[in-house]
Amino acid sequence: MISIVDYGVGNLKSIKKALEMVGAKTKITRDLEDLKNSSGIVLPGVGAVRPAMEKLKELKEFIKSTDVPVLGICLGMQLFATLSYEGGEVECLNIIPGVVRKFQDDVGKIPHMGWNQIEIVKDNELLHGIESGTFFYFVHSYFLETEKSFILTETDYGISFASAVSKDNYYGVQFHPEKSGDDGIKLLENFYRICRA
């Protein structure tokens, strides 16, 4: 069972549907016992960091210490950071050292919205069968600034930013695989495979 954490953000049902397309059994939940009995956890992400962290308060320590694969999507990936500067300074999960910053006006239209390419900078099982130059669908105004060692893919939007990251059993993507057609489904299939390993 893959648990999709319900912490007051959008896009839960589309992620559930996409995971079920690759054969995963899923549950939308915020129950700690459900998470403890999961083979994988997804932190979805359409929303703002401060209310998200407030809703995650009771689950925070478990998410930081679990040994099952965890996939953060968009805001979910940003929550892995040490700090976010969205709406002031907000402490995040501090799983992947780094800070979340807003794009500056000189990069182009904000939010960064639509299809953009990834450049793979580090091989990882999450990206099996996905090539550099593949397009994924993005909707975000903030990005995670972290050490190169944690970055799997980068994307150019006036600046080069981390569009996928990993550390141990934690994986994050800034784009929305559930909105990214066959390649997004492929990535979710890879995550499901990791959960079954």
Known catalytic membership, residue 92: no
- The active-site residue out of 86, 154, 178, 189 is 178
Q: Which amino acid is at 40?
A: G
Per-residue burial over 121-136, b = 16 or more CB atoms within 10 Å of its CB, e = otherwise: eeebebbeebeeebbb
- The active-site residue out of 154, 176, 189, 195 is 176
| Cβ–Cβ < 8 Å for 45, 75 | yes
Known catalytic membership, residue 178: yes
Q: Dig out the tokens for 144 from the structure.
A: 């995670």
Strand ranges (DSSP E) for 21-97?
26-29, 40-43, 70-73, 83-84, 90-91
- The active-site residue out of 74, 112, 140, 154 is 74
Active site residues: 74, 176, 178
